[in-house]
Chain A
Amino acid sequence: MTAIDTAVAARAKRGSRIPLALLLPALLGLVFLVLPLAGLLIRAPWSAMPSELSSAAVWDALKLSLICATSATGVSLVLGVPLAWLLARTEFPGRRVIRALVTLPLVLPPVVGGVALLLALGRNGIVGRWLDSAFGITLPFTTTGVVIAEAFVAMPFLVISVEGALRAADPRYEEAAATLGASRLTAFRRVTLPMIAPGVGAGAVLAWARALGEFGATITFAGNFPGKTQTMPLAVYLAMETDPDAAIALSLVLLAVSVAVLVGLRDRWMSTP
């Protein structure tokens, strides 16, 4: 509210009014996004909150959620930034197709993504079968499985965001670095990466947020077991089956933690005017 007020005041001072055609839908959009959250807050069982949240299972789930979402973001950064660079800075046949494939998890229903992961990396999956027989590694129903499911769903957000930043960044800086003798890798490390840091940061935040809320792919691929694969969204879903109050309480915890992290990161990582 106050942010809008000050913004309005600032514009008014400069003598240019915000056009109603923009302001009206903007406010409607804001209400639309905030209203469900208000519902959650109003219906929250505040008096029962301490008892709802005192169980160790809640904190196990929260800890697991934070660890897995952060690991998934790490995986996405390590694999996704080079992938974005490849898509933005190189020419190769079938690049458009590859690009579409990369964004596929965005449109894929997460549960389908989970089934796909099972068919690929499960005990009888095309790669998983080999992992199992050669190394004795099975990924489903493990915490690693949660990270994989979350990274699968979240990485496209990072790739798209970094690719956009790369396309917006002037490639001539890299060319200049190359003429000064820098290898392509050095130019990427010393010139490109610092230039696109805000884009990478924004992408990482998006990916983290998506991973934190991930449900479908996780429960399908990694299953649901407290302390091992039961993240907060899974705990919320199962609590909803019998005890909506507990589900609301859990949702609020997840909400509070994500808002705290996102607000904290936004100031540090994303250069906001």
Chain B
Amino acid sequence: MTTTRSRTAAATFAVLALAVGLTACSSSKSATPAASGASGSAAASASAPKATGTITVFAASSLTGTFNDLGKKFEAANPGTTVKFNYGGSSALAQSIVAGAPADVFAAASPATMKTVSDAKDTATDPKVFVRNTLEIAVPKGNPKNLTSLQALAAPGVKVALCATQVPCGSAAQTALTAANVKLTPVTLEQDVKSALTKVELGEVDASVVYQTDVQAAGGKVDGVNFPEAAKAINDYPIAEVAKAPNAAGAEAFIAFVESTTGMQVLTTAGFQAP
């Protein structure tokens, strides 16, 4: 599986390098969902004012669905470009960018994780908040335990999965719980929002506090419950060009595309809010 995928990525890369070299202008097919953004840096070094080549985007895992969609739309609008995504926990992505991973664009799920990168002088532009995300209580389909508020999660016998406070969804959930003055002991502190949601999907926990967009992306496998304290813990998503971006022109073009009307439409449809 992995071998095939990396082989495909390598092949794509080789073909792409050739295409750039010959300045051929066939439009690329689709984004290769490469697990790491390691490849594609060499091809992008031939940067032109117009967006060409491979653009490597490191994005928070909560952006997975929308950014895949945006990537395809961007490639269609800019023939000759390929957008590669590396999704993961924002903190882990920030760490790898600081450690020198060849990213062009970084889209984080919290200003704090973006700050890790900008503090290390690894952003080329000032990070801009492009969307916001609100928390929601995710419950198994049909809400079997009839949980309707944050307070209800603290009841004995209710199993709750939260994100670990080290990741944005965890610190946002903590802020909301503090605002609601609710003290609860979760059964687990998950490493990212998707795994917290998976525990709800499998019915192993009765509830989890995740982003509205994740509930929406789960497509009916879980139900979402709004709670008033969510307003106190709205998450800002900043985006920035990486300082050592192998493809700076591509990075600028992609960020502009995300902030365009088309980009915003895709994002708001998925449940994100405009800043």
Which residues of A line the B interface, CB within 8 A?
118-119, 122-124, 140-141, 219-220, 222-226, 229-230, 237-242, 244
Contacts and interface: CB of A to CB of B under 8 A. Distances in A.
B15 interface: no
Contacts of B205: 141
A238 B191 contact: yes
Interface of B: 89, 91-92, 95, 159, 161, 164, 166-167, 186-191, 195, 199, 202-205
B-side interface mostly: loop
A224 B189 contact: yes
Contact of B164 (A123, A222, A238, A244): A238
B115 to A, nearest CB: 11
A141 B159 contact: yes
Closest 5 A/B residue pairs (Cβ): A223-B188, A241-B91, A141-B187, A241-B166, A124-B203
Contacts of A229: 188
B89 A241 contact: yes
Nearest to B188: A223
B120 to A, nearest CB: 12
A238 B166 contact: yes
Given A123-B204, A223-B199, 4 more contacts: A223-B189, A224-B190, A238-B189, A239-B166
A219 B186 CA distance: 14
Interface centre among B91, B159, B186, B191 (most CB of A within 10 A): B191
Given A123-B204, A240-B92, A225 B166 contact: no
Nearest to B186: A225
A241 B171 CA distance: 13
Contacts of A237: 191
Q: Which of A123, A222, A224, A242 has the most CB of B within 10 A?
A: A242
A57 to B, nearest CB: 12
Given A124-B202, A124-B204, A242 B91 contact: yes
A225 B186 CA distance: 8
A224 B202 CA distance: 17
Contact of A241 (B161, B164, B188, B199): B164
Contacts of B159: 141
A223 B161 contact: yes
Between B91, B164, B167, the greatest number of chain A beta carbons within 10 A of the residue's beta carbon is seen for B164
Contacts of B91: 241-242
A238 B170 CA distance: 12
Given A240-B92, A241-B95, A244-B95, A225 B191 contact: no
A225 B202 CA distance: 19
A124 B200 CA distance: 11
Contacts of B186: 225
A132 B190 CA distance: 23
B188 A240 contact: no
Contacts of B188: 141, 222-225, 229
Contacts of B195: 219-220
A223 B190 contact: yes
Contacts of A224: 164, 188-191
Contacts of B95: 240-241, 244
Nearest to B167: A241
Which of B159, B188, B195, B203 has the most A CB atoms < 10 Å from its CB? B188
A241 B92 contact: yes
A228 to B, nearest CB: 8
A240 B186 CA distance: 22
Given A238-B166, A241-B91, A241-B166, A122 B204 contact: yes
Nearest to A247: B95
Contact of A140 (B166, B190, B191, B204): B204
A229 B186 CA distance: 12
Nearest to B98: A244
Contacts of B202: 118-119, 122, 124
A115 to B, nearest CB: 8
Nearest to A128: B204
Contacts of A140: 187, 204
A225 B191 CA distance: 11
Contacts of B187: 140-141, 223, 225
A124 B199 CA distance: 11
Contacts of B92: 240-241
B236 to A, nearest CB: 18
22 contacts: A119-B202, A122-B203, A124-B202, A124-B203, A141-B187, A141-B205, A219-B191, A222-B188, A223-B187, A223-B189, A223-B199, A225-B186, A225-B187, A225-B188, A237-B191, A238-B164, A238-B191, A240-B92, A241-B89, A241-B164, A241-B167, A244-B95
